Amino acid sequence: MSQIVSFTKPGLLLLDRFTRATEDRLAATFEVYRCYEPEFSLGRAASAIVAITTSGAKGAPRAIVESLPSVRIVSIRGVGTDAVDLELGRRKGIVVTTTPNLLTDDVADHALALLLACARRLCQGDRFVREGLWQHGSGLPLGRKVTGMHVGMVGLGRVGRAIATRLEAFSATIRYTDVRAFDDVVYEYVPGILDPATDCDALVLAASGGPGSLHIVDRSVLDALGTQGMLISVARGSLVNERALVDALVERRRGGADLDVFANEPDVPPPLLALDHVVLQPHRASATEETRLAMEALVVENLLAHFAGTPLVGAA
């Protein structure tokens, strides 16, 4: 079914769901087309759409962008631009904006929550109680001590630094790798990913996605991490060779994994669902009411600013 095309308001394509309040605010200025609705079809609306809103995970598929001759801005709720073809945007004169600085604390908090959940077997303990195993005296394996852990950080941008700061409260020893060393941190820098992975208790992924980081966590990195090492990822699923990770976890060559992101979301490799040393989350590190509302407010502000000709925040 084709949607009715408005000739009184510019068209806006939503590629991911936003809160009702935000969508209502957008509808005051734009004719909103929701691609996630079952009967959605661009049809005649394609020529009327001047803007796209999306999330960092959903991005803006190249085929959709190419089908919209009038689009001038892609406003992303998130900080990642790896799911948007920036070069195509530049050729078509499309501005791409993100929501920087707003989600750092939540993602860092989530990373620590994942680490604690896996190390202390919190999810397994919850099931132990709910399934009545406690009353029967069934044994629950011991957890791991978090205080004093040796942690390898992959990526020391805003999120990576916020995670490292929180780890300091646990007296963690931190080594990091990034595209370069930073003079304003006290952590030890190592130039390659194998070094921070070797013999650490946990390897935390907080680097950007994209071609440059595709599958940087492969079998060699997982083997370097060791049989007791845990992998924590709040970055992008593309950083990890998922087949290699699944094999390592199934074969118990890995101490555990805490995954908020996956290679082909929302599809999760079925073998992971049955493993008790894996904590799984549906890509929701920034999913708090306070932060999501702030991010969506900036998405709207950037859209309005673009068409008003005023400065933008977080232009890629």
- 131-151, pLDDT tens digit by residue? 999 988 778 899 999 999 999
What are the structural domains of the chain? 11-102+290-308 (3.40.50.720), 104-280 (3.40.50.720)
Residue 283 is a catalytic residue: yes
**pLDDT class of 15 with cuts at 50, 70, 90:** very high
3-state secondary structure the chain: CCCCCCCCCCEEEECCCCCHHHHHHHHCCCEEEECCCCCCCCHHHHHHEEEEEEECCCCECHHHHHCCCCCCEEEEECCCCCCECHHHHHHHCCEEECCCCCCHHHHHHHHHHHHHHHHCCHHHHHHHHHCCCCCCCCCCCCCCCCCCCEEEEECCCHHHHHHHHHHHCCCCEEEEECCCCCCCCCCEECCCCHHHHCCCCEEEECCCCCHHHCCCECHHHHHHHCCCCEEEECCCHHHECHHHHHHHHHCCCCCEEEECCCCECCECCHHHHCCCCEEECCCCCCCCHHHHHHHHHHHHHHHHHHHHCCCCCCEC
- The catalytic position among 66, 131, 188, 265 is 265
Mean pLDDT computed over 186-204: 94
Catalytic residue among 121, 283, 292, 306: 283
In the chain, % of residues over pLDDT 70? 98
The active-site residue, picked from 110, 121, 236, 306, is 236
What pTM, to 2 d.p., does this model score? 0.90
Convert the pLDDT of each residue in 218-261 to its tens digit.
Answer: 999 999 998 999 999 999 999 999 999 999 999 999 899 999 99
Question: For residue range 46-103, what is the model confidence (pLDDT) as tens digits?
Answer: 999 999 999 998 999 999 999 999 999 999 999 989 999 999 999 999 999 999 999 9
CA dihedral (290, 292, 293, 294) positive or negative: positive
